[in-house]
Structure 1
Amino acid sequence: MREADPQKLDALVGRLVGDVGASVTGALVVLGDQLGLYKAMADGKPMTAEDLAAKTGFKERYVREWLSAQAAAEYIDYDADTDSFSLSAEQAMAFAEEGSPAFFAGAFEIVRAMWLDEPKIADAFRTGAGVGWHEHSKCLFRGTERFFRPGYNSNLNNSWIPALDGVKAKLEKGARVADVGCGHGASTVLMAQAYPNSYFFGFDYHGPSIDRAREAATKAGVEDRVVFEQASAKTYPARGYDLVAMFDCLHDMGDPAGAGRHVKETLADDGTWMIVEPFAHDQLKDNLNPVGRIFYGASTMICTPASLSQEVGLGLGAQAGEMRLRRVALDAGFTRFRRATETPFNMVFEVRA
């Protein structure tokens, strides 16, 4: 057995304690989110455990233990003088306000799916087979919508589409848009709400997600201009789209270049392919940071298995980087590829024939 450096070992154990604490707290975030505990505290008023139990109808002993754990994680504030708990404005944005640009509870549902589906991924490690998106636990689909929606709320119509050459003007005048890999339709509905003269078509191979997307369109009152259909990225119908968008899904596809060739066939003259992908540098060493840690982990458990379950099975991964994505676009027959804009979590590319 090799001799360990005591200081390095202490530092590692300290990080592990933090990570175990984060894992435990993640389960409690899911619990509090599903039970509506955060939303019951959203107004910021201090509450004792008894107060919260009375407001929610849950048993005080359980509520107190949950509150104590949340306070230890600094996700909820605690006042020892009054033995009361409260959500700060910032904490409410992260845990209680679904429309907030900082809402984070959905991310923990994605993590929950990783734990639930770990045996499937372990089998895939042994066999080399993939695990399709549809084979995951349902909380993944719901969590993905809730996690990505705040970023789309903040950026899609405010900065991403305006960064594309001439696209905003087309949408304002009236255009046809395909949202490929639309999932629950959050991005599709947001665009439809912002551009009332345009028509939108959302496609996803996952039938239950399409059903949910249709419900979302009806709830938003845009069902007259939004059509959702079950179809893959290589089979969705061609309708001369002015814009084809793919949000955080190209790297999940087994044959992204093949999907790109189909995009080229379905675009109108002078149409645009917008690719939104997780932010990543081209070299691994430059992605060894907190954001890269999350994306590589999700890629191991969700994205790469999804790609390997399909034909070709390229396995780009969630940290593909601009160079590999550019190669996909060029292999698909496009000649113009540029990074239009970016956020700390996403890169937005404009692709043209």
Structure 2
Amino acid sequence: MTTTDITTIDHTKLETFVGQAVTDMGAAISGLLLHIGDRLGLYKAMAGAGPITSFALAQRTGTAERYVREWLANQAAGGYITYHADDGTYELPAEQAMVVADEDSPVFLGGAFETIASAYADHDLVVDAFRTGSGIDWHEHDQRLSSGVVRFFRPGYAAHLVGEWLPALDGVVEKLRAGASVADVGCGHGASTVIMANAFDRSTFAGFDSHEPSIEAAREAAAQAGVQQRAKYAVAAAKDLPGEGYDLVCMFDALHDMGDPVGAARRVLKALAPDGTLLVVEPNAGDALEDNLNPVGRTYYGLSTVICTPGSLAQDVGLGLGAQAGERRLTSVLHEAGFTHVRRATETPFTIILEARP
């Protein structure tokens, strides 16, 4: 930078941005430490334990005290835990425990940080994709991506799917109670399928995903939940969806990841019963970029850059919708596929639920 350039700088703005960058720097490294705490069970050991020393926490978790002590200092500096200077103990408040320790909490985010950690591990793949324009298929990613994603989305599905999202669809709950045929397309580890199978014991559920290890994990999840007789899984791409006459087809946070979402939706339309319903769950994004310039949009654009968009570009067509496609673009995709009725059935601050009918 030349002297002339320096004189044009607004130093107040510079200092403000440096402060922002330093805050992000602390968040970036602390995200790794959050993932470490999640992976080692440090948060779970602190939850409900009250004030605890670094020695006691290390003993409870089978970890080395010196590492735990440094980790605790980072967590205290970030406000994730409370440090009691009078006796040198640390405490995980109940509110923070809901976010980092309780996997059944609707606001649990441990899976999100596991997903982000997997993206850091994939750094070289992403750099190469930027240079070549190639995609990155799901199986190429660090293995924590699959496990992180299911832990990221499951709390929201558990909190809202049966009680809010399905009842927002016209006549669907009545069909499920009577006994319906359901397909879960892009089911991943099967969290959504298992939740529905647990709630509606007269219905049958078929989960499909192109990632074989995810299907194997889904089968294990169904067996553990005791619903394996009515929740079956198979490896299949969305546009090759097996079966016909489904009363309900679901796509949970999957449509924007598909290389050919129009083709996939067109196949779903053919597989639905005449009075069937397609449920599409997607990130609740605005239609314009400026609508998403906020912390949630920033997070989803980041995940979309390293996971969702590369995943779509690795497939046939490679439309690359991205995780922030927005309701207008998603509706356009569904109309192009042949659906005549598309509406926003309900939403949460982070999720939009669309109902599509023939």
Report the TM-score range of the alignment, normalised by the length of the smaller protein: over 0.9
Distance 1:102 1:314 in 2: 31
Deviations 1:298-332 (A, max 9, x none): 11111111111111111111110111111111110
Q: What do residues 50-99 of structure 1 show as CA deviations (whole Å, max 9, x unaligned)?
A: 11122222221111111111111111111111111111111111111111
Aligned to 1:82: 87
Match of 2:346 among 337, 341, 346: 341
Q: Which amino acid aligns with 1:27?
A: L
Q: How does 1:207-246 map to 2 (within 5 A)?
A: 207-246=212-251
**1:187 is matched with which residue?**
192
Residue matched to 2:37: 32
1:177 aligns with 2:182: yes
CA distance in 2, matches of 1:307, 1:54: 45
Using the alignment, how far apart are the partners of 1:316 and 1:63 within structure 2? Answer: 42
Q: How does 1:127-142 map to 2 (within 5 A)?
A: 127-142=132-147
Q: Does 1:150 align with 2:155?
A: yes
- Which of 314, 318, 324 matches 1:309? 314
Alignment of 1:350 onto 2:355: yes
Uncovered stretches (5+) of structure 1, i.e. residues with no partner: none
- What root-mean-square deviation, in Å, do the aligned CA atoms of Structure 1 and Structure 2 show? 0.9
On the 8 A contact 1:238/1:265 being kept in 2, the answer is no
TM-score of the aligned structures, taking structure 1 as reference length = 0.98
- What is the CA-CA distance between 1:21 and the residue it aligns to? 0.5
Letter in 2 for 1:219: Q
Are 1:278 and 2:283 matched, yes or no?
Answer: yes
Per-residue deviation, residues 146-181 of structure 1 (Å, max 9, x unmatched): 010111111111111010011011101110100000
Quote the residue 1:259 is aligned against: 264
Deviation, 1:116, is: 1.0
Aligned partner of residue 158 in structure 2, secondary structure:
helix
Residue type of the alignment partner of 2:157: Y
The answer to whether residue 293 in structure 2 is matched with residue 288 in structure 1 is yes
Partner residue in 2 for 1:167:
172
8 Å CA contact 1:238–1:267 kept in 2: the answer is no
Identity among equivalent positions (%) equals: 59
Aligned with 1:161: secondary structure?
Answer: helix
Secondary structure at 2:239 match in 1: coil
> Within the alignment, does 1:68 sit opposite 2:73 as a pair?
yes
* Aligned-partner Cα distance in 2 for 1:59–1:309: 42
User: Partners in 1 of 2:68 and 2:321 — Cα distance?
Assistant: 43
Local SS of the residue matching 2:50 = coil
Conserved 8 A contact 1:44-1:88? no
Whole-angstrom distance in 1 between the partners of 2:128 and 2:64: 40
**Partner-residue secondary structure (3-state), 1:100:** coil
Q: For residue 275 of structure 1, what is the amino acid of its counterpart?
A: V
Provide runs of 4+ in structure 1 moved above 6 Å: none
Distance in 2 separating the partners of 1:260 and 1:101: 29
Are 1:105 and 1:147, in contact at CA under 8 Å, matched by a contact in 2?
Answer: yes
Query: Is the CA contact 1:281–1:321 (under 8 Å) kept in the aligned structure 2?
Result: yes
* Contact 1:238/1:266, CA 8 A, preserved across alignment: yes
Which of 5, 12, 23 does residue 7 from structure 1 map onto? 12
2:104 counterpart SS class: coil
- In 2, the alpha carbon distance for the partners of 1:226 and 1:120 equals 35
CA distance in 2, matches of 1:255, 1:53: 49
Do the aligned residues in 1 keep the contact of 2:244 with 2:270 (CA within 8 Å)? no
- Say which of 201, 205, 216 aligns to 2:206: 201
3-state SS, counterpart of residue 282 of structure 1: coil
Q: Who is 1:121 aligned against? A: 126
Question: C-alpha distance in 1, partners of 2:33/2:200?
Answer: 39
Q: How far is 1:133 from its partner?
A: 1.4
2-structure distance, mates of 1:84, 1:211: 43
CA distance in 2, matches of 1:193, 1:76: 36
For 1:250, the equivalent position in structure 2 comes to 255
- Alignment partners' CA distance in 1, 2:44 and 2:324: 34
Code of the aligned partner of 2:155: P
Q: How far is 1:238 from its partner?
A: 1.6
> Structure 2: which amino acid aligns with 1:250?
L
Specify every segment of 5 or more residues in structure 2 that has no aligned partner in the other structure, as ranges. none
Aligned length: 353
1:331 has 2:336 as partner? yes
